Amino acid sequence: MLLFLGCYFSFAQNELIERSLQSSFYDDQQVGFYLYDIDTQKEVFSYNGISYFLPASNTKIATLYAVATVMKDSIPGIFYYETDSELHFQGTGDPTFLHPKFDNQRVLNFLKNSTKNLIYHAPAFDDSPFGNGWSWDDYASDYAPERSPFPIQENLVYFGRTGKSISASPRYFEDKVTSEKRSFAREFHRNTFYFAPHKSNIKIPYITSPELTREILSSVLDKEISLTFTEIPKKAKILYSRPWHSVAKYMMEESDNFLAEQLLIAASAERSMEIGSEKLIANLLKNELQNLSQAPRWIDGSGLSRYNLFSPKSIVQILDKLYKKLPEEEILDLMAVGGKSGTLKSRYRSKNAYMFGKTGTLSNTVTLSGYLKTNSGKTYIFSLMSNNSTRPLSQVRNEHEKLLNLIRTNY
């Protein structure tokens, strides 16, 4: 009798979800949902759960897993070795160098305080500046700066205006900007910038290169720096910059694309001294993630690529691996919190936080995956993905919130 009642209530609960997902609202789009019980380690509900979807920034969940798996405590800042008169160094992809959100600049101070001749080694970089499947017209958008082995200040130029004068940070770019209104903020193939007169400040990606990295570093450090294209020897030491947790937390809460791309590159440097995310992704899929039910098509770290494909179930499985790898308090702290922080601050409001997740947004695409605490005291892992919707994305988010609140109340 008790078994029968349990089955009946489970069926009734799942009917609520199915009715919601089969409503006419979703007729013009593809939707997938997967719900997993952490306590029983069993599937609770699946609706197109093993189908592939464009994950958008839910890709950052896989990036977080890579960081938590490969890095120990901190981000590798540079590879370096010293002789009697020279300090040789090479970038690792560390995104925190001169990043305005991270003030403890250990690598900067190390290079600045050295009395030796500085030699910058430009490594073989396996990644292209833009990921495969990125939108080409994002080249001047501050949410899609170039990827590079030694990023400086988010690979962005900060322009500000005081009266008629324009300031630039890094200062190297001060003579590369014109006060002029154009339909674009930077030339496509060169670092020539346009700063519309009505704007007071702007951030624009710059085109990176080993030569430019050397010049900017020389300007920042106020030192001569030599450039070589020889790989730094395997005997090189690692100088770690800062603990990865605070950087990954900002990446997840604010959905920061630059941090996601560069953290994945830095993880590749930690694992093999090779600078580039493609080989690391392949290595993870062959090893730590080989048992995912549906092998993802994982292209980049941020989710900007429209070539990424993940199933809701595979996202849930990665979240489950993270939950088992890190203490619950730590993994929940890394997520955006409903009504409290990041991209979920204006949604899922409650006196007691119950939604800990990662949002994803591209045109026609809304995704949300994470950990859901229900009124019964249980914790579930879920992934909810809508693709190809022509409706306003705010409406899709509203429907997602209704569904997840229904689960919060009834499970």
Domain boundaries, the chain: 1-69+249-410, 70-248
pLDDT at residue 199 in the model: 86
Q: Is 11 helix (H, G, I), strand (E, B) or coil?
A: helix
Residues 369 and 400 sit within 8 Å (Cβ to Cβ): no
Q: pLDDT value at position 4?
A: 43
Q: What is the C-alpha to C-alpha distance for residues 93 and 95, in angstroms, rounded to an integer? A: 6
Nearest to 305 by CA among 261, 263, 271, 266: 261
Low-confidence stretches of the chain (pLDDT beneath 70): 1-11
Please report the pLDDT score of residue 13 as a whole number.
Answer: 79
Q: How far apart are CA 243 and CA 80, in angstroms?
A: 19
Tell which phi-psi region holds residue 290, choosing left (phi > 0), alpha (psi between -120 and 50) or beta.
alpha
pLDDT for residue 3: 43
> What pLDDT, on the 0 to 100 scale, is given for residue 39?
95
Angle ∠(337,314,27) on CA atoms, nearest 5: 80
**Nearest alpha carbon to residue 384 among 62, 134, 17, 38:** 17
Angle between helices 257-272 and 277-286 (to 10 degrees): 70
Find, among 218, 87, 222, 206, the residue nearest to 140 by Cα: 206
Q: Which two tokens stand for residue 150?
A: 């030694």
Of the candidates 73, 90, 62, 220, the one whose C-alpha atom is nearest the C-alpha of residue 149 is 90
Question: Which amino acid does the sequence have at 200?
Answer: S
Q: What Rg value do the Cα atoms of the chain yield, rounded?
A: 23
The beta-carbon contacts of 369-373 under 8 Å, at least 24 apart in sequence, are 369/58, 369/61, 369/312, 369/315, 369/316, 369/319, 370/319, 370/335, 371/319, 371/323, 371/331, 371/332, 371/335, 372/404, 372/407, 372/408, 373/408
Looking at residue 218, its amino acid is S
Which residue stretches of 255-392 are H helix? 257-272, 277-286, 312-325, 328-333
The two tokens of residue 74 are: 């901190």
CATH code that applies to domain 1-69+249-410: 3.40.710.10
Q: Are strands 365-373 and 177-178 parallel, antiparallel or unpaired?
A: unpaired
**What are the pLDDT digits (tens) for 69-87?**
999 999 999 999 999 999 9
The predicted model scores a pTM of 0.95
Q: What pLDDT is stored for residue 10 in this prediction?
A: 66
List the alpha helices (DSSP H) in 306-392: 312-325, 328-333
**For residue 272, is it left (φ>0), alpha (ψ between -120 and 50) or beta?**
alpha
With vertex at residue 166, the alpha carbon angle to CA 93 and CA 196, rounded to the nearest 5 degrees, is: 90
Map residue 163 onto helix, strand or coil. coil
Residue 81's pLDDT is 98
Sign of the Cα torsion 289, 290, 296, 301 reads positive
